Structure 1
Amino acid sequence: MKNTISALLLVLIASFSFAQETMTFEAKITNKNGDLLFIKENRKIVKEIKVDEKGNFVATFPVTEGMYQLFDGKEYAQLFLKNGYNLKMTMDASKFDETIKFSGKGSKENNFLAQQTVDESKYPYDEILALDDDNFKKAVDDKKAADFKKTEAAGLDAKFVELQKKSVEMNLMGLAQYHTQISGNKKLNNSQAPNFDYENHAGGKTSLESLKGKYVYIDVWATWCGPCRAEIPALKALEESMHGKNIEFVSISVDVDKDHEKWQNFVKEKSLGGTQLFADKNWNSDFIKAFGINSIPRFLLIDPSGKVIDADAMRPSNGKLKEQLEGLLK
C-alpha cells in the first residue's frame, strides 16, 4: 500500500512539475486567416500551432517568461507568456484587434495588451507629431506618465509591469526620433527640389526637370519593403481617380542593382501605374540623400515650379491626401 501511495505521489509531483515548466495556449477563431498560428519572439518562431479537427488551436509548450507575438499569417497581436499559464483566446479574425478576448490563467495581462492595442490605434499621434519641440516634449511626458499610471494601477504581474514600462519608453523614444526627422523634413518645404534623372521602366530616362508644369507626387519604395507594397492598392486607386489631371505620380525604387530585374518583373506583374523609375545609386542617390531618406516608404509632394510642398507627404492610404491633392488641382 505504501509503495502504491508513493508511486501516486511521484506521478502527481511529476505532473505538477510539468505543468509549471510549460504553458497551454488555446484559441477559437472565427473567420480565421489560415490553419496555422505562430507564437513568435521577435523573428524567432517559438511554437507553430495547427488547427485541430474541431477548428481550434491548442498547444502545450515551455516558454521563457516575457513578451511574444501571435501571428495568424496576416496580422499580429502582442502576448505575455509564462510557464504555468492556461490561456484561452477567442477572436474574429475579420475584426482582429477589436475582438481579441482572453480567459484562464494569464488573461488579465493579455487582455490589458489587447485593449492597449485598440487604445493606441485611436491615439492622435499625427497631432502630436505636428507640435513644436516644447509642446511635443510635454505631450510625450504626459503620455508616459499616464501609461505608467495605468499599468501600475491594474494589479498585473510584476514582470509584466516591468516589461510594459520598458516597451512604453522604447515606443516614445522612437516617436521622438520620428518627430526630429519630421522637423528636419519641414525645413525642406518651400525649397527648390534637387533634380533626378532616372531609368524609366517604360524606356529611356525621366528627370524631375522634365515634369515641371505639373504637381509631382513621389513614392520612394523597394520591392522588398512590406509597408511599401501595402500602399500600392491605395496608390493605384488614387492615380486612377486623378487620371488626366495636372499631376504626375512617380515611384522611385531604391532596390540595389542586383535586384534590377526583380524590380522590372514586379512592376510588370503588378501592373503598376504612374511613372516607374529606378534610382541610379539606390540609397546613395543624390536625390535620395538630399531628402535624408533612410526609411521607406517615403512620400514627397512637389509643385509645378519644382518647389517642395511637403518633404514628408501623407501616404496614399490616408484619405486626407486625396482631399489635399484635389484642393491643389482646382
Structure 2
Amino acid sequence: MKKIFVIICLSTLSNLVFSQGKLEIYGNTTGLKDGTELTIYRDQPKFIEPSSKKIKVTINNGHFSFSTNQDGAELYYFELFKKRRYFFCDTGKFEMKIPNGSIVDAVLSNNRVGKDYNDFLNGRDSVSRKQYSKALKAYDDFVLHKSIDTIARAEILAKISVTKEKYQQSKVDDGLRWISKKPQSLINTYVLHQLLDIIPDNQLTSIYNKLANNVRSNSWGKDLKYKIDSLFVGGTAPDFEQTDTSNNVINLSSFKGKYVLIDFWATWCIPCRLEIPKLIKAKQLLASDNFEIISVSLDDKSSRQKWLDAIKNEKMDWMNLSTLDGFSNVVARKYHVKAIPSSFLIDPNGKILATNISGEILYKTLKKLVSVR
C-alpha cells in the first residue's frame, strides 16, 4: 500500500505546562534565499470562521518562526513553491528542519501523534476510494466531450451511485474501527467529522459524547458540537437576520410560536424549482397563522432580477430573503448548507423537528402538527 506521509506533532508534558493554548514552531532550512515566504494554513472545518486560517512567515539567514493560539490538536499544511506538506500539531514548542528548501522533506520534532494519523490514513480502504474517483473522472470526461448519449450517461451515473455507496461504507468502517481501537487519539474528532451526513445523527452524537474533553477541544470537535446542538433534530435552530426583497431586516426569532420551514434554494437549481409547487400546496392547505415559510436564496448579485422574477412568477407568497452572496450567504453558512435544496422544519419553541423533507412528506408531517383549513 502506498504510504501517505503526514507530519503530526504532540507536545511533551513540559510544553503543555508552559505553552498551553499556544503553538510555536522554530524552523531551520538550507538552500533558500533571504526573504523567501513560507505559507502555513490551518486546515479546519469549512464552516469555522475563517475556514482556512493563513499565516505567512519570511525566511532569513536560514531561519523562520511562527506562533498561533489554538485549543487542542489542529491540522496544518506548509506551502513552499506550490508544494505542501501536512501536519497535525498540538500546543507546544517544536523545531522544523527543511533540508535544501524542500518542504516535502520537512521534519518536525516530537511528532508522536504522527504514527496515529499515518496508521489511520494507510489503514483505509483505498480500493473503493480509487473506484469512486475513477467513476467521477469518467463522468467529468463525458460532460467535457458534451456527449448526448443518454444511455451512456445513465450507465455512468449508476456506476457512480454504486461506487459512492461502497466508498461511503468503507469510510464508515475505517472511521469506526479506528475510533474503537484508539478512543483517546487526538485525531478522533477529525476522523468522526468525515462521517457527518453518512452515519445517523444519533450514532454520531453517541460516539462524540464518549470522546474525552481534550480530544473534543479542537476546531473539528467544536464544529461537531455546534452541529449536534444546533443542526441535528432536537437542537435549537440558530437565530439569524437577513434582508427581504424590500431590504427589510427579518429575524427568525420574530416567528417564535409558529412552525417555520427554512428553505434554501436558488433560481438556477432545477430540483429547487420543482419543489416550489409543493411548498405552495402546503402553504395553502395549512393554517397560515401557525405555519410560515422562509425561503433563503443562494443566488448571486448578478441574478437579483432573476430572483425577483422567480418569486413573482412562481407565486412564492411568503418570506423571501437573500444577500445574493451564493453559498457565502451568512445564514447558509450558519446552517452548514453544502447543497440545495436544503430545508429545516422548526417548531414553535425553535427546536428542529426535521431536516431536508419535501413534497408529500413535508405536507403529511405538517398536517399532523398544525390545523388544516
Shorter chain as denominator, the TM-score bin is: 0.3 to 0.5
TM-score, normalised by the number of residues in structure 1: 0.47
What is the TM-score with the length of structure 2 in the denominator? 0.42
